[in-house]
Structure 1
Amino acid sequence: MNRTDRLYALVEELRAISPRPRSARELAARFEVSVRTVERDISALQQSGVPIYAEPGRRGGYVLDKRMSLPPLNFTPAEAVAVAVALGRAADNPLASHARSALRKLLAAMPPPEDARARDLAARVHMVVEPEPYPRVSRVIEQALLHRRVLRIEYEDRKGQVTSREVEPAVFVGGRGGHWYLVGMCRLRQDARIFRLDRIGRAEETEEIAPEHPAERFATRIPEAVMGNPDLG
């Protein structure tokens, strides 16, 4: 995790548990850095205007102003576990890291009695089906979609032929068999194409801004991915 990502994650961690404090030692262990690094990061956030203050005492630590924290959530334990299971299934999709962050916030924002009961119930709920692993290139593609940048990829079709493509990304599609697909405009083919993510050997986000492609424009292609067409690139 680079420093920019860590600074953002620190704020989210403190936001999730506010108004409770988190010590520098706990934060250091959470992000696998030194206590000194955490102290420098907190100082940088404070200087940039983030309302973090130090709470003294044996159980003290760093606290984010409660006005930036989540209000108490009145979920029942069963409702919280249902949401947790749904978020847990996101381990194999483009929003996996955001789902984990949302789950931490949900549990942290529940009142203590319901929180404890939800955790107890969650310990008795197990996912039997192992999700398909999400391809390594997914993070690059996710960022390209977010920033609306042209992607440069290497794609292997079902015959084993590898081609280099420039793609204007549009949407992610979850298809049959646990596979995920990137739908976008392929400049090599000069047409809309669907790329199965586990066949993308390399992905690079370029600096070029991609034209905006509304998802509706690719509506006729999406059912093909959902049905698991074996070669759409």
Structure 2
Amino acid sequence: MNRTARLYALVEELRAAAPRPVTVAALAARLEVSTRTVQRDLQALMETGVPVRTTTGRGGGWSIDPDLTLPPIRFTPDEAAALTAALAAVATPFAGAARTATQKIAAAMTGPAATAARDLAARIVALPSRTDTAVRTAVEQALTTRTVLHLTYLDAAGTPSEREVEPAGLLTTDGHWYLIAWCRTRRAGRGFRLDRITTATPTTEPSRPHDLPTLLRGSAAATALRPSTLDPLG
């Protein structure tokens, strides 16, 4: 069993036993490898963000939170290539999460699916994002935690303004990303092009929920569609 398959098997062993912990010795016996190998692999999983943890003492061992992991998913070569290529091409926002997700998907795949995915991803290039990393991180955080964001924003003429916004979602068009939010300063829905946001300061103040289509109504993006890949499978 190669290391990729072994890491996959470790996760599945822990998922099957969850929430009960499993000892390193038991995992080593099931995978027919040394305890040292299992310990090293578990540490590698932890470092890559897999929610494994260890408890000491009697009855202790390694466990995983099944609510924070995905069950096994089998991709066809075309599906694997499309997914890896799409993630590899993400420039902003959530580029960091997309990059680590790509690495995890590629590491978990074997055979024709892995070959097709890596071949296509290797032939996709993206220009570096013009959005400041700190701005991108603040926008990601505000959207994820549903909190208010303070912005310094440049309009099309280059005039700066201070804004306090309640993020609702993201819009992408013509190669640009926009933060769609309720602007407390203008008391209306607004779209803020990410590369025109010069500073973004997150807060801990909860943002009110806003309906994205409602904020877009009457704007040039009123006919924006949700990606079909997010629709339920039918």
TM over 0.5: yes
Q: Distance in 2 between matches of 1:51 and 1:96?
A: 34
SS in 1 for 2:74: coil
Q: 5 Å matches for 1:1-233?
A: 17-20=7-10, 51=21, 54=24, 55=28, 56-57=34-35, 59-60=37-38, 61-63=40-42, 68=66, 72-90=72-90, 92-110=91-109, 112-114=110-112, 117-118=115-116, 121-122=119-120, 125-127=122-124, 130=127, 132-136=129-133, 137-176=135-174, 178-220=175-217, 223-224=220-221
Per the alignment, do residues 121 and 198 of structure 1 end up closer, same or farther by CA in structure 2, a change over 3 Å counting?
A: closer
In the TM superposition, what is the alpha-carbon distance from 1:53 to its structure 2 partner?
5.2
What's 2:48 paired with?
none
Q: Check whether the contact 1:151–1:169 (CA below 8 A) recurs between aligned residues.
A: yes
In the TM superposition, what is the alpha-carbon distance from 1:154 to its structure 2 partner?
0.8
Unaligned runs of 5+ in 2: 12-18, 29-33, 43-51, 53-62, 225-234
Q: Check whether the contact 1:173–1:226 (CA below 8 A) recurs between aligned residues.
A: no
Q: Check whether the contact 1:192–1:218 (CA below 8 A) recurs between aligned residues.
A: yes
Identity among equivalent positions (%) equals 35
In the TM superposition, what is the alpha-carbon distance from 1:210 to its structure 2 partner?
1.5
Per the alignment, do residues 192 and 51 of structure 1 end up closer, same or farther by CA in structure 2, a change over 3 Å counting?
A: same
Q: Distance in 2 between matches of 1:197 and 1:50?
A: 45
What's 1:30 paired with?
none
Q: Distance in 2 between matches of 1:115 and 1:53?
A: 33
Q: Distance in 1 between matches of 2:104 and 2:115?
A: 16
Per the alignment, do residues 67 and 199 of structure 1 end up closer, same or farther by CA in structure 2, a change over 3 Å counting?
A: closer
Equivalent residue letter for 1:95: F
Tell me the C-alpha RMSD between the 2 structures. Answer: 3.5
Q: Distance in 2 between matches of 1:159 and 1:145?
A: 27
Per the alignment, do residues 52 and 205 of structure 1 end up closer, same or farther by CA in structure 2, a change over 3 Å counting?
A: farther
Q: Distance in 2 between matches of 1:67 and 1:198?
A: 37
- TM-score between the two structures when normalised by the length of structure 1: 0.63
Unaligned runs of 5+ in 1: 1-13, 22-48, 228-233
Q: Distance in 1 between matches of 2:138 and 2:223?
A: 22
Equivalent residue letter for 2:87: L
SS in 2 for 1:18: helix
- TM-score between the two structures when normalised by the length of structure 2: 0.62
Equivalent residue letter for 2:196: R
Q: Check whether the contact 2:132–2:195 (CA below 8 A) recurs between aligned residues.
A: yes
Equivalent residue letter for 1:173: L
Deviation per CA, 1:70-118, whole angstroms, max 9, x where unpaired?
555432334322221111111x1323233233323323333x4346534
**Aligned residue pairs, count:** 182
Per the alignment, do residues 197 and 50 of structure 1 end up closer, same or farther by CA in structure 2, a change over 3 Å counting?
A: farther
